[in-house]
Amino acid sequence: MTALAEDQVEALRELTRVWPRAKRSLIGASALGCLMPAFHRRTFDLDVAVAISLKDLPSDIHKPPGWRRDIRHEHRWLTPAGVRVDIIPAGPDLLAAGQVTWPSGQVMSLRGFRHAFSSTSSLEIARGFRIDVATVPVVTLLKVIAYQERPQERERDLGDIAFVLANFDSENDARRYSREILEAGLRYEEVSPYLLGRDLGGLIDQGERLSLTSFIALAKGEVDGGRTELLMRRQAPIPEWRERPEEFLAVIWAFERGLAGR
């Protein structure tokens, strides 16, 4: 079982009833909370990618009783219990276009969303009820892309990315003690970000790689006047990074090295 609240589970059941045959995948912070038991924050929100077209969204979603749309965000719905559900339509036509253009004219990138359906774990979140959850590398990729598209709105993503960088592997991950790691000469704190980079490097295409490398430049403080680097160290649930920026930069360097496969 997972740490999702009962009302969150019920919201996901409702989506299953609305789209019983469409692929659905939990993404975002709630996905990280399911996959990483020590995740640093709890969220009552849900982010769900659904393999549907945009035209399927407005008519079908009215079926859950009591759900209402957030008038400020076309992709956001509120359940009667107060769960905020962000529903991202990501059917084949939208994935091919690489974006969703909402009726208001707002454009949302779907870069990286192809992995939300192909790189998942099936988790039982309640007795007899399972959902697909995007893997930690995929959720991290989506957060990296989302932050760069809307940095003023997505600052909290920086803390989540920082947590993953520091905690991606575990003591039970055999790769931590592999020949590759030993020969790379990595410090203990650098193994987790290196392995995250390695996993992403084997998954991404060129466009997604560009998004990751541009984020690395932000995290290093090489662009935007160092704003992202400072915010990420402040948001990170690792106090040492606030006092010793060189430790934070060493983690970013290890991630970059893993991504490059060297």
pLDDT score, position 184: 85
Q: ∠93-212-89 over CA atoms, to 5°?
A: 25
Please give the structure tokens belonging to residue 58: 């407005």
pLDDT score, position 236: 95
Q: Please tell me the distance from the alpha carbon of residue 52 to that of residue 145, in angstroms, as a whole number.
A: 21
Q: Please tell me the distance from the alpha carbon of residue 179 to that of residue 234, in angstroms, as a whole number.
A: 34
pLDDT score, position 57: 78
Positions of the chain with pLDDT under 50: 1
Nearest in space to 164 (alpha carbons), one of 88, 86, 232: 232
pLDDT score, position 27: 98
pLDDT score, position 95: 97
Nearest in space to 157 (alpha carbons), one of 106, 218, 107, 115: 218
pLDDT score, position 2: 63
Q: Please tell me the distance from the alpha carbon of residue 185 to that of residue 15, in angstroms, as a whole number.
A: 47
pLDDT score, position 235: 95
Q: Please tell me the distance from the alpha carbon of residue 155 to that of residue 159, in angstroms, as a whole number.
A: 8
pLDDT score, position 171: 57
**Distances from the Cα of 248 to the Cαs of 93, 130, 144, 152, in angstroms?**
40, 37, 17, 22
pTM of structure: 0.94
pLDDT score, position 180: 85
pLDDT score, position 47: 97
